[in-house]
């Protein structure tokens, strides 16, 4: 049996997790090494699942019997950057003040990771009839792809779970639906010429402006269509252009212009609709604007990330269990994307339910309230009682 020194409190675990700089552009292996050592100390079996490059890993641990039908507590280990943010203290050193725990990832979502790991000593000392799995992933903040290699092993080399609880911050409300997010890079290639002779070239900036205007028009269509479920805020699929850059001088037809855009779709949105509408608009802009005077230009659009939404599954095992554990009688929807849709696509009943507020995520001086961590501990104690033999 491990020494008492291995019996960390939730805050002690959170302090250690926050201390690892696991921005999505960096490796998370040092954090996973710590988690693996902690699990080894308690004799908990686990597998480490590396990415193709070998610089990041997920870890999947099992508390209780190695059988199908367990409950997955899913959290990610990566965090968003702190560069350019006005923190009042070191973002990678947990600071406790005013009933809050401050630090990058404290709420999104190392707080939940710490809660799940903090359950280990109690679970080891309890005879469980139903397994509880802890899955800590990578790259959630950039692609939500970091769980896929582990999910592919369910029912093959790993037990197939019966329910998944993704611990993103919901104030411990049970979310059974969220939007998808699909992101794109569009590059308009023009042909340089003197601005006094527009017929000698193709202005990539002008064509890109037309395309952005088309995205605004598509956005208006989505807003007009609205949300038939009445569950989302904002109540529509949203379309957004976040970055645009191009051109070299005011008096030169721009050779190139690129912009980054996305849409966040309601669960019932056909994910091919918006790219199809944009492709049609691109054909019009190509002929009517970019190549008005000759075959000078072209337009390239590349999909970067496509994160599926989470669709409601009333009465699912995950929903029923989480509502009972949280003491709720209804579900909610959230507008941000999570890894939950990846699990649902694999046929696993999934909900989102975790401590803290998403309003604090990605902010300078990110924090989770200490009473939210206490409520999270109570939630997991009830899960342990549910799974006890």
Kindly report, residue by residue over 135-165, the tens digit of the pLDDT: 999 999 999 999 999 999 999 999 999 999 9
How many degrees, rounded to 5, is the angle at CA 252 between CA 249 and CA 256? Answer: 85
Q: Is the confidence at residue 318, as pLDDT, over 70? A: yes
Q: In this model, does residue 6 exceed pLDDT 90?
A: no
pLDDT at 5 over 60: no
Adjacent-strand bridge partners of 206: none
Cα angle vertex 357, ends 352, 359, to 5°?
Answer: 115
Phi, psi of 110, deg, nearest 5: -70, -20
Supply the pLDDT for residue 346: 97
Q: How far apart are CA 316 and CA 76, in angstroms?
A: 23
Residues 48-84: tens digit of each pLDDT: 999 999 999 999 999 999 999 999 999 999 999 999 9
Q: Largest Cα–Cα distance in the chain?
A: 82
Pairing of strands 132-137, 57-63: antiparallel
Q: 181-307 domain in CATH 3.30.56.10?
A: no
What percent of the chain clears pLDDT 90, i.e. is strictly above it? 98
**CA atoms of 118 and 112, how far apart (whole Å):** 10
The rounded distance, in Å, linking the Cα atoms of 38 and 12 is: 12
| Catalytic residue of the set 140, 168, 339, 366 | 140
* Selected catalytic residue, list 15, 23, 78, 317: 78
CA distance 319 to 62: 21
Q: Does residue 362 register a pLDDT over 70? A: yes
Q: What is the pLDDT of residues 200-255, one digit of tens each?
A: 999 999 999 999 999 999 999 999 999 999 999 999 999 999 999 999 999 999 99
What is the mean predicted confidence (pLDDT) over 318-336? Answer: 97
Cα(102)–Cα(93) distance, rounded to whole angstroms? 8
> Is 262:198 a contact under the CB 8 Å cutoff?
no
d(CA 64, CA 364): 39
Contact criterion met (CB below 8 Å) for 334 and 202: no
Q: pLDDT tens-digit profile of 370-379?
A: 999 999 999 9
Q: Look up 173 and say whether it is catalytic.
A: no
Structure tokens at 227: 């949300």
Q: How confident is the model at residue 46 (pLDDT cuts 50, 70, 90)?
A: very high
11: helix, strand or coil: helix
List pLDDT tens digits, range 174-197. 999 999 999 999 999 999 999 999
32 within 8 A of 136, measured Cβ to Cβ: yes
Q: Among candidates 306, 317, 260, which has minimal Cα distance to 130?
A: 317
**Reported confidence tier of residue 389, pLDDT bands at 50, 70, 90:** confident
Task: Say whether pLDDT at 311 is over 80.
Answer: yes
Q: Using 50, 70 and 90 to split pLDDT, how confident is the model at 388? A: very high
Q: What is the pLDDT of residues 84-101, one digit of tens each?
A: 999 999 999 999 999 999
Read off the pTM: 0.92
Name the average pLDDT for the chain: 97
- Fold for the domain defined by 4-178+310-387: Aminopeptidase (3.40.630)
What average pLDDT score do residues 278-294 get? 97
In the chain, what percentage of residues exceed pLDDT 70? 99
Name the burial class of residue 230, with classes exposed (0-12), middle (13-18) and buried (19+) by CB atoms within 10 angstroms of its CB.
Answer: exposed
Domain ranges of the chain: 4-178+310-387, 181-307
pLDDT at res. 7: 84
Element (H, E) at 176: strand 175-178
Residue 149 is among the residues annotated as catalytic for this protein: no
């Amino acid at each position: 049996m491990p020494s008492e020194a291995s019996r960390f409190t939730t805050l002690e675990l959170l302090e250690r997790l926050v201390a690892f700089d696991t921005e999505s552009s960096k490796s998370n292996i040092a954090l996973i090494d710590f988690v693996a050592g902690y699990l080894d100390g308690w004799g908990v079996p686990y597998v480490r699942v590396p990415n193709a490059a070998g610089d990041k890993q997920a870890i999947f641990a099992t508390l209780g019997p190695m059988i199908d039908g367990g409950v997955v507590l899913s959290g990610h280990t990566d965090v968003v950057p702190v560069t350019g943010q006005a923190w009042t203290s070191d973002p990678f050193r947990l600071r406790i003040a005013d009933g809050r725990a401050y630090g990058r990832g404290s709420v999104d979502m190392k707080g939940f990771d710490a809660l799940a790991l903090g359950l280990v000593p109690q679970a080891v000392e309890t005879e469980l009839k139903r397994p509880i799995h802890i899955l800590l992933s990578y790259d959630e903040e950039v692609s939500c792809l970091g769980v896929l290699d582990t999910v592919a092993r369910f029912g093959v080399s790993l037990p197939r779970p019966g329910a998944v609880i993704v611990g993103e911050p919901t104030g411990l409300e049970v979310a059974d639906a969220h939007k998808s997010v699909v992101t794109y890079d569009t590059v308009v290639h023009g042909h340089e010429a003197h601005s006094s002779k527009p017929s000698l070239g193709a202005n990539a900036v002008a064509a890109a402006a037309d395309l952005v205007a088309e995205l605004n028009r598509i956005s208006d269509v989505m807003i007009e269509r609205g949300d038939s479920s009445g569950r989302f805020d904002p109540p529509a699929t949203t379309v957004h252009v976040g970055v645009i850059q191009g051109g070299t001088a005011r008096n030169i037809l721009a050779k190139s212009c690129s912009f980054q855009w996305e849409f966040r779709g309601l669960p019932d949105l056909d994910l091919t609709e918006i790219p199809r509408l944009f492709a049609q608009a691109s054909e019009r802009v190509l002929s009517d604007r970019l190549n008005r005077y000759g075959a000078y230009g072209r337009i390239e659009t590349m999909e970067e990330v496509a994160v599926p939404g989470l669709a409601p599954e009333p009465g699912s095992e995950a929903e029923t269990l989480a509502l009972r554990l949280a003491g709720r009688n209804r579900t909610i929807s959230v507008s941000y994307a999570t890894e939950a849709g990846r699990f649902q696509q694999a046929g696993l009943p999934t909900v989102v339910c975790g401590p803290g507020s998403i309003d604090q995520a990605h902010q300078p001086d990110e924090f989770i309230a200490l009473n939210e961590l206490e409520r999270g501990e109570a939630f997991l104690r009830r899960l342990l009682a549910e799974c006890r033999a």
